[in-house]
Amino acid sequence: MKLDNINDYIIDFSLAINIGKSKLIEYGIFPIKEFGIYILVAIINEQIDKSKIEELFNKPIKCIKISKKVFEFEINYLEFKYEICNLAKQSILLSDENDINISSIFLFSDSLLEFAIFVKASDIHIETTKDSVVIRIRIDGILVQFFKLCYELYYILSSSIKLFTSLDISQKRLPQNGRFSKNILDLDYDFRVSILPTISGESIVIRILDNQKAFIGLEDIGFSDDVYAKISKNISYTQGMILITGPTGSGKTTTLYSILNRLNHNQMKIITLEDPIEYNIDGIQQVNINSDIGLDYEIVLKNILRQDPDILMIGEIRDSKTLQVAIQASLTGHLVIATLHTNDAIKTINRLLDLKAEPFLIASTLRLIVSQRLIRVLCENCKIQVEVDGLRVYKAVGCAKCNLSGYSDRTIITESLEIDEKISQMINAKTDIANILQYASYKTINNNSYQKVLDGIISLEEYYRHEI
Ligand SMILES: [Zn+2]
């Protein structure tokens, strides 16, 4: 019997609640839904005595097979899921598309946000299919489906999210963006909302901005000693350009904020250009880029130098115009810190050349390139030691403490390239990056990541997943 996907079904959790966790675990069963004369039950062992289970439900059953891991996942969150699905049912019962019962849908959305924060999620994805609403939650970079609910909930949920994000409720055909704040479990959180119309309704993504991240110290990011030392040294200069690079979701913004926290004291004027601003920091002039009204990077950068800043933070260098101004600013006595989408430190040089920067300008302004990724840390509670090709490493298992993923939280892997006199000359002479790399011979992101495997912090699988 091949494995079935429990995520395909809109589960009625009251069935499982009525039987009770201990019985479900004893038999290895998870009831899904009542279909007229029978109940659909997920089982982990095909050899199960069906008549016993039918006795338990007092009804005929039909079975689908799931893995032990999926079963444990459902059992682990049973009470939460039951409660949240109940609130969803209530909302559907009390509302319709044109007359929404605000208090019931707010109860539902608040519990959903609380739940997401409880499982340490970064984003909540609310998506529609032809006949359901699917809610997936991103934890440590991985999307996990937690709920599949009736389609009727979509209109109510979409409208209520638009309501507390001050968006246009009647607008369902164009993308909308907004944000809202909420106090959850005694902590203040900001939520950034993006709504995109799709063929079956809308895709709604809520990013959870944990304000604690805005105050993280450079020393707490998890840089290796050599990278940390290079960053500390280079941000103490009064001019030049420091680039933090990596793909989307590699923690670049958190690194930028940690640097700003280090530099933020009253002898410095710091101006940031962000699209959008993620966290507010007192003492720093943060400018939110808003292309809709013509407030784009170019226009802000043109005016920014008249503001007499010491330090400039550019959220992202996206095009040659932004890069030109960044270079201009660093040439004229400002420290510029920015992010750039590149895969590793050395290729950043090529990217700058692609953006039509003159080699001599790069050579004279660039001081340091830091490249980074986020990588999942093994759960301390359940990791086990195994031997792979004679090497003692740790393997992810999964337990209740880590949402059965085997991982808990993420850490950073990095590499950095400091532009010394020789590299500066090589850039100016348009030397091939392979030669620059050979000369620089720094510890690469892979070296850093592999060391974490040897230290038992990450798994080999995670190492390979991020190998460059
Ligand atoms: Zn665990």
pTM of the model: 0.89
In a domain, 67, yes or no: yes
Question: Which tokens is 31 given?
Answer: 């009831």
The number of domains in the chain is 3
Rounded to the nearest angstrom, the distance between the alpha carbon of 382 and the centre of ligand 1 is: 4
Rounded to the nearest angstrom, the distance between the alpha carbon of 456 and the centre of ligand 1 is: 14
Q: Which of 76, 106, 138 is the last residue of a domain?
A: 76
* Residue 210 confidence (pLDDT): 84
Q: Which of 210, 239, 272 is the last residue of a domain?
A: 210
pLDDT along the chain (468 residues), means of 10: 91 96 96 95 94 94 95 95 96 87 93 95 96 96 95 93 92 94 90 96 95 87 94 96 95 94 92 90 92 85 88 93 92 95 95 96 97 96 95 93 92 96 96 95 94 96 93
Rounded to the nearest angstrom, the distance between the alpha carbon of 79 and the centre of ligand 1 is: 20
Rounded to the nearest angstrom, the distance between the alpha carbon of 380 and the centre of ligand 1 is: 7
Rounded to the nearest angstrom, the distance between the alpha carbon of 108 and the centre of ligand 1 is: 28
Rounded to the nearest angstrom, the distance between the alpha carbon of 16 and the centre of ligand 1 is: 24
Q: Which of 210, 234, 259 is the last residue of a domain?
A: 210
Q: Angle of helix 102-118 relative to helix 78-94, nearest 10 degrees?
A: 160
The residue type at 384? I
* Residue 100 confidence (pLDDT): 87
CATH code where residue 4 lies: 3.30.300
CA distance 261 to 237: 16
Same structural domain for residues 341 and 428? yes
Same structural domain for residues 55 and 107? no
Same structural domain for residues 154 and 269? no
Rounded to the nearest angstrom, the distance between the alpha carbon of 408 and the centre of ligand 1 is: 7
Same structural domain for residues 35 and 128? no
- The answer, yes or no, to whether the previous bond of 60 is cis (omega within 30 of 0) is no
Phi, psi at residue 219, to the nearest 5°?
A: -75, -15
Same structural domain for residues 236 and 362? yes
Rounded to the nearest angstrom, the distance between the alpha carbon of 107 and the centre of ligand 1 is: 30
In a domain, 378, yes or no: yes
| Alpha carbon 227 to its chain's center | 23
Same structural domain for residues 200 and 220? no
In a domain, 81, yes or no: no
Same structural domain for residues 248 and 269? yes
The mean pLDDT value of the chain amounts to 94
The residue type at 178? G
In a domain, 347, yes or no: yes
* Residue 254 confidence (pLDDT): 93
Question: Who's near 453: CB < 8 A, 6+ residues apart?
Answer: 393, 459, 460, 463
Same structural domain for residues 56 and 119? no
Rounded to the nearest angstrom, the distance between the alpha carbon of 374 and the centre of ligand 1 is: 19
In a domain, 120, yes or no: yes
Helix or strand run (H / E) with residue 155: helix 152-164
Residue 345 and residue 415 in contact, taking contact as beta carbons nearer than 8 Å: yes
Rounded to the nearest angstrom, the distance between the alpha carbon of 120 and the centre of ligand 1 is: 14
* Residue 298 confidence (pLDDT): 81
CA distance 277 to 272: 9
124-166: per-residue pLDDT in tens? Answer: 999 999 999 999 999 999 999 999 999 999 999 999 999 989 9
Q: Which domain holds residue 252?
A: 216-465
In a domain, 87, yes or no: no
Same structural domain for residues 196 and 259? no
Q: CA–CA distance from 385 to each of 25, 395, 454 (Å)?
A: 27, 6, 11
Rounded to the nearest angstrom, the distance between the alpha carbon of 139 and the centre of ligand 1 is: 14
CATH code where residue 297 lies: 3.40.50.300
- The answer, yes or no, to whether the previous bond of 276 is cis (omega within 30 of 0) is yes
Rounded to the nearest angstrom, the distance between the alpha carbon of 411 and the centre of ligand 1 is: 16
The residue type at 284? I
Rounded to the nearest angstrom, the distance between the alpha carbon of 406 and the centre of ligand 1 is: 5
Rounded to the nearest angstrom, the distance between the alpha carbon of 393 and the centre of ligand 1 is: 16
Rounded to the nearest angstrom, the distance between the alpha carbon of 403 and the centre of ligand 1 is: 7
In a domain, 82, yes or no: no
